[in-house]
């Protein structure tokens, strides 16, 4: 299958992942145990972009609000709108990362890492390594979360447990 066709046909994997991640972040207090990467806290931010596609022209809804529960955005899921971008914050101890995760390419947009401690004049190489380490950490965390989702999605546990819980969560948000 040509690459672009494969990308188009499997686009839903990224979109469904963002819905699942949103659901998990709200139902487990935002805490995720990622094994070697440690325990992290993940929160959805104030902006979520949803899109409906099909026979109708593409419709995009951007929800921005103070409340983390974002009822309006959760309601949009029930009319088959899919999450295409979400603002996310990650916390490990005192360190905080924020970025917008996009469902199509799993790109991290506007990624802000914790402040780099190295001094630019004293050790420019150290500055580079520290910054790249912080960027790679965010990528590794996103990968680890996505891998948890994919393993669950292809397991029997998805239909028997996870999907019903996800549907209940959407219903509660109406």
Partner 1 sequence: MSIILGSISLTRFSVEGPLPDHHMEEFPERIARYAFRKLHEDSSDERAVGWVNIMDMLDSQFAAKEFFKDPYIAMSWRVDERKIPGKALKLHLREAEAEIKRAENVQYLSKARLQEIKERVRLQLLKRSIPNSSAYAMVWHLPLGVVIFGSVSSRLCDEFTEFFFKTFNLRLHTVFPYSLAHECLEDSGIQTDLLDDLHPLSFETEGW
Residue 129's SS3 state is: helix
* Residue 5 vs 29, nearer CB to partner 1: 5
Among 58, 117, 154, 156, binds partner 1 (CB under 8 A): 154
In angstroms, give the least distance from the CB of 89 to partner 1. Answer: 13
Going by C-alpha positions, the residue among 1, 6, 23, 7 that lies closest to residue 153 is 23
* Residue 3 vs 29, nearer CB to partner 1: 3
Residues 102 to 121: which contact partner 1 by CB under 8 A? 102-112, 116, 120
Residues 16 to 75: which contact partner 1 by CB under 8 A? 16-17, 19
Displacement of CA 166 from its chain's centroid (Å): 15
Residues 64 to 93: which contact partner 1 by CB under 8 A? 77-80, 82
In angstroms, give the least distance from the CB of 124 to partner 1. Answer: 6
Cβ within 8 Å of residue 96, ≥6 positions away: 89, 90, 114
Going by C-alpha positions, the residue among 114, 118, 119, 108 that lies closest to residue 134 is 114
Query: Would you say 6 and 99 are in contact if contact means Cβ atoms under 8 Å apart?
Result: no
In angstroms, give the least distance from the CB of 166 to partner 1. Answer: 8
| Residues linked to residue 83 through DSSP beta bridges, in sequence order | 50
Displacement of CA 116 from its chain's centroid (Å): 24
Displacement of CA 86 from its chain's centroid (Å): 6
Task: Identify which range of 25-33, 38-46, 64-72, 166-174 contacts partner 1 by CB under 8 A.
Answer: 166-174
List contacts with partner 1 (CB under 8 A): 3, 6-7, 10-17, 19, 77-80, 82, 102-112, 116, 120, 124-125, 127-129, 131-132, 135-136, 139, 143, 146-147, 150-151, 153-154, 163, 166-167, 170-171, 174
């Amino acid at each position: 299958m040509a690459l672009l066709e494969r990308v188009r046909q499997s686009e839903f994997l990224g979109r469904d992942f963002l819905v699942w991640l949103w659901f998990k972040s709200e139902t487990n207090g935002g805490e995720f145990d990622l094994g070697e990467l440690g325990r992290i806290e993940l929160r959805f931010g104030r902006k979520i972009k949803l899109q409906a596609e099909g026979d109708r022209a593409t419709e995009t809804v951007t929800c921005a609000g103070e409340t983390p529960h974002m009822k309006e955005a959760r309601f949009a899921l029930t009319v088959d709108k899919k999450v295409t971008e979400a603002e996310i914050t990650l916390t490990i101890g005192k360190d905080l990362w924020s970025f917008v995760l996009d469902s199509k390419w799993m790109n991290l947009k506007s990624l802000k890492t914790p402040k780099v401690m190295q001094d630019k004049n004293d050790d420019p190489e150290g500055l580079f390594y520290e910054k790249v380490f912080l960027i790679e950490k965010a990528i590794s965390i996103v990968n680890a979360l996505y891998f948890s989702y994919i393993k669950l999605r292809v397991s029997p546990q998805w239909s028997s447990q996870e999907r019903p819980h996800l549907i209940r969560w959407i219903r509660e948000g109406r």
